[in-house]
Amino acid sequence: NAGVTQTPKFQVLKTGQSMTLQCAQDMNHEYMSWYRQDPGMGLRLIHYSVGAGITDQGEVPNGYNVSRSTTEDFPLRLLSAAPSQTSVYFCASSHAGDSNTGELFFGEGSRLTVL
């Protein structure tokens, strides 16, 4: 049972570098999302998607890009890394439109440090 898989688990970048965090799910979920988790601030939504070809912004989208070309994959791109983007990033998926549960299934997280 793979569920939601995130890579890499750890990454160190220099300011100004770009990179992509990968997320893949094998549950045929329509909904996928990216969060960042910082101490004392809980989980904050960066971007989300309700299906292939459809993406939208969350609470903290600046500095991040996403695309959804397949149901399974939802990569998060950092265009020009800044120290403020040092965080733990989580990808999560769910069946879209399930208003009774909307259970989010999370990956194990990717810890990013920007120097």
Partner 1 sequence: TQLLEQSPQFLSIQEGENLTVYCNSSSVFSSLQWYRQEPGEGPVLLVTVVTGGEVKKLKRLTFQFGDARKDSSLHITAAQPGDTGLYLCADSGTYKYIFGTGTRLKVLA
Binding site for partner 1 (CB under 8 A): 4, 31, 33, 35, 40-45, 48, 50, 56, 58-59, 90, 92, 96, 99-104, 106-109
Residue among 112, 106, 24, 29 nearest 63 (CA)? 112
User: Which residue's CB is nearer to partner 1, number 19 or number 96?
Assistant: 96
Minimum distance of partner 1 from residue 17's CB (angstroms) = 25
- Residue (83 or 102) nearer to partner 1, CB: 102
Instruction: Give the residue with the Cβ less far from partner 1, 16 or 102.
Output: 102
Report the distance separating Cα 72 and Cα 93, nearest Å. Answer: 10
Please state the φ and ψ torsions of residue 58, each to the nearest 5 degrees.
-100, -145
Residue 49 near residue 56 (C-beta atoms within 8 A): yes
